[in-house]
Structure 1
């Protein structure tokens, strides 16, 4: 039995869909905080169980009988360590055979501020005695395409990444990697996968590609971290989220989102989705 935490999120849903292509639905557990919001997952035939990172008793019930568990990192930055500790402790009690964790690219050397909680979670896993696999995910291309409409409207893509190269991939590519690990018949305990897209680009490259495909004049405008954060807050993002995004862009300028080892495409058995392909789909969807 395979349990996927955070199964109602964007990555979690893609993982569930991928598992359904390889395994009987009854052997898959979608662990979610609010089951009433995930009834469509239950309709697929998977088991739906409540799993609230802040309520350990729900985790014990959710993980019962699990042979493998995917811990999708909490979206609550600043609260991840205690929440992940609760999941790991419950997995130990459930005697889970393998825990896969979605960490961040180069967590042990990353200049990104968000890496700290991931690195602490990795240390907790190492100390737990559980067999585990680290899926150190790079950036989702979707993170940048979310700002596509205003970039075209204002003729400017803004950020703080300078000329930093970004080896992003589609969220679906990272989901496929998780599925590959969860369904593997090999003993993968102890593996660390540094996962990133096959090709890299700068935000200037992204702006040029947006201009090419949209037919609109779009250029990249590099801002200081403080100015970029202020701009994000100005368009309505909460301060912590704006801080996370601006810090991550500065991290990208230092090489934090770059990797050229192609381990992601090797793991999933196909090339990762090119930025230009995702951009075309995003433009079509927004047309």
Structure 2
């Protein structure tokens, strides 16, 4: 079976392609799809995989890239508010092509989470269930790389501003998520993926850390004192607005912290490390690599 990876020029999709090759999948059996043809060409040259232009806003490219019997990784779109119609177009193309299996990168706790960004993922999951296709839901938690800006803030100011309260985050690196994703895709393509059909994997790091642990890890990595400035949601929004963020962005960032305070990203079921075949990357190691 051919494995088609959408979003292959993005930060997660490219890593999935690389992990598939590391698992022994032949380059000829992988199609890397994406919108940027120059980056696709560079990826194909570097890895030997086949490439195809795939634009969620251009259904014709999706239909051309997919074929009967394919294993299709639908990497979530990057445009909040536009994901559902984009994903619907990709799912329709998969149905028309007769793909054998779809894996979708959803969100941790979909269906029961205070995360505002979950609604589009939940709607996509419903579309997939209605499609009649064999599906695996890869409900990704938080990427440690999401704290790159926090690391730079700590480097520059020695302060981390947060309104997460006592909430915990079981983050992991994109490499961790890619390893688990590649395992599922490779299993299905090899005919060994019966356990993955209909599965909804809750993917997160092995350890859920709190703000104090984040600050300690940042201090260790940066070699300087880093202090925690804990505030409530309203104060967080005000501080972000004062720092130059627009109202919508400030509200979104503070809303994420509020969801963390409610436990939205704290679950540690172990699915990620089990599928990846190794422990997830510890927070301090991930931050050190970022720094």
Deviation at 1:260, TM superposition (A): 2.2
Deviation at 1:73, TM superposition (A): 0.3
**Is the Cα contact below 8 Å between 1:32 and 1:38 reproduced in 2?**
yes
Q: How does 1:91-102 map to 2 (within 5 A)?
A: 91-102=94-105
Greater mean alpha carbon deviation, residues 229-238 or residues 49-58: 229-238
Greater mean alpha carbon deviation, residues 105-114 or residues 58-67: 58-67
Q: How does 1:30-69 map to 2 (within 5 A)?
A: 30-43=32-45, 44-65=47-68, 67-69=70-72
The 1:51–1:116 alpha-carbon spacing in structure 2 relative to 1, beyond 3 Å, is same
**Is the Cα contact below 8 Å between 1:105 and 1:194 reproduced in 2?**
yes
Q: Distance in 2 between matches of 1:211 and 1:281?
A: 14
The 1:226–1:67 alpha-carbon spacing in structure 2 relative to 1, beyond 3 Å, is same
Deviation at 1:66, TM superposition (A): 5.1
Consecutive unaligned residues in structure 1, runs of 5 or more: none
Of 78, 82, 90 in structure 1, the residue corresponding to residue 85 of structure 2 is 82
Say yes or no: does 1:220 pair with 2:221. no
**Is the Cα contact below 8 Å between 1:3 and 1:66 reproduced in 2?**
no
**Is the Cα contact below 8 Å between 1:152 and 1:217 reproduced in 2?**
no
Of 215, 229, 252 in structure 2, the residue corresponding to residue 244 of structure 1 is 252
**Is the Cα contact below 8 Å between 1:114 and 1:244 reproduced in 2?**
no
**Is the Cα contact below 8 Å between 1:151 and 1:218 reproduced in 2?**
yes
Deviations along 1:28-83, one digit per CA (max 9) or x if unpaired, are 11110121232211102111111110111111001134520001100101111100
Q: Distance in 2 between matches of 1:234 and 1:18?
A: 42
Deviation at 1:241, TM superposition (A): 4.6
**Is the Cα contact below 8 Å between 2:217 and 2:283 reproduced in 1?**
no
Greater mean alpha carbon deviation, residues 191-200 or residues 64-73: 64-73
**Is the Cα contact below 8 Å between 1:138 and 1:257 reproduced in 2?**
yes
Q: How does 1:1-287 map to 2 (within 5 A)?
A: 1-21=2-22, 22-43=24-45, 44-65=47-68, 67-184=70-187, 185-187=192-194, 188-232=196-240, 240-283=248-291
Q: Distance in 2 between matches of 1:241 and 1:94?
A: 39
Q: Distance in 2 between matches of 1:25 and 1:60?
A: 21
Deviations along 1:64-104, one digit per CA (max 9) or x if unpaired, are 34520001100101111100100111100111111000001
The 1:4–1:241 alpha-carbon spacing in structure 2 relative to 1, beyond 3 Å, is farther
Consecutive unaligned residues in structure 2, runs of 5 or more: none
2:265 is paired with a residue whose SS is coil
Count of residue pairs the alignment pairs up: 283
TM-score (ref. length: structure 1): 0.93
**Is the Cα contact below 8 Å between 1:207 and 1:218 reproduced in 2?**
yes
1:147 is paired with a residue whose SS is helix
The 1:99–1:159 alpha-carbon spacing in structure 2 relative to 1, beyond 3 Å, is same
Deviation at 1:224, TM superposition (A): 3.3
Greater mean alpha carbon deviation, residues 102-111 or residues 157-166: 157-166
TM-score (ref. length: structure 2): 0.92
The 1:14–1:280 alpha-carbon spacing in structure 2 relative to 1, beyond 3 Å, is same
